[in-house]
Amino acid sequence: MNILDKIVIDKHKEIAAKKIALPIESLQKLPLFARDTFSLSESIKNGTGIIAEFKRRSPSKQVINQKSTVINVVKAYENAKVSGVSILADTKYFGGALEDLMQARNTISIPILRKEFIVDTYQIYEAKAFGSDAILLIAAVLSAEEILHFSKFAQQLGLEVLLEVHNLEELDKSNLTYVDMVGVNNRNLKTFEVSLDTSKELAVKISKDKVKISESGISSVTTIKELKEFGYQGFLIGENFMKTENPEIAVTDFMNELKN
- The verdict on whether 185 is a catalytic residue reads yes
- Of 227, 146, 122, nearest to 184 by C-alpha is 227
- Of 199, 222, 251, nearest to 83 by C-alpha is 251
pLDDT for 150 equals 98
Q: Give me the catalytic one of 43, 68, 151, 185.
A: 185
pLDDT for 101 equals 97
- The verdict on whether 215 is a catalytic residue reads yes
- The verdict on whether 78 is a catalytic residue reads no
Per-residue pLDDT tens over the stretch 46-84: 999 999 999 987 876 677 888 889 999 999 999 999 999
pLDDT-based confidence at residue 198 (cuts at 50, 70, 90): very high
State the SS3 of 135-192: EEEEHHHCCHHHHHHHHHHHHHCCCEEEEEECCHHHHHHCCCCCCCEEEEECECCCCC
1 or 21, which is more confident?
Answer: 21
- The verdict on whether 128 is a catalytic residue reads no
pLDDT for 67 equals 84
Rounded-to-integer distance, Cα 72 and Cα 85, Å:
13
Give the mean pLDDT of 187-214. 91
Q: Give me the catalytic one of 160, 164, 170, 239.
A: 164
Per-residue pLDDT tens over the stretch 233-257: 999 998 889 989 899 999 999 999 9
pLDDT for 64 equals 82
pLDDT for 163 equals 98
Q: Give me the catalytic one of 11, 41, 55, 199.
A: 55
Asked whether the predicted pLDDT for residue 99 surpasses 90, the reply is yes
- How much of the chain exceeds pLDDT 90, in percent? 85
pLDDT for 188 equals 81
- Is residue 215 within 8 Å of 222, Cβ to Cβ? no
- How much of the chain exceeds pLDDT 70, in percent? 99
Per-residue pLDDT tens over the stretch 122-164: 999 999 999 999 999 999 999 999 999 999 999 999 999 999 9
Who's near 110: CB < 8 A, 6+ residues apart? 38, 43, 77, 78, 82, 83, 84, 85
Phi, psi for 67 (deg, rounded to 5): -100, -40
- The verdict on whether 216 is a catalytic residue reads yes
Give the mean pLDDT of 183-197. 87
Q: Give me the catalytic one of 14, 41, 43, 53.
A: 53
* Average confidence score pLDDT of the chain: 94
Give the mean pLDDT of 14-37. 97
Q: How far, CA to CA in Å, does 166 sit from each of 109, 141, 222?
A: 30, 11, 22
Domains of the chain: 3-259 (3.20.20.70)
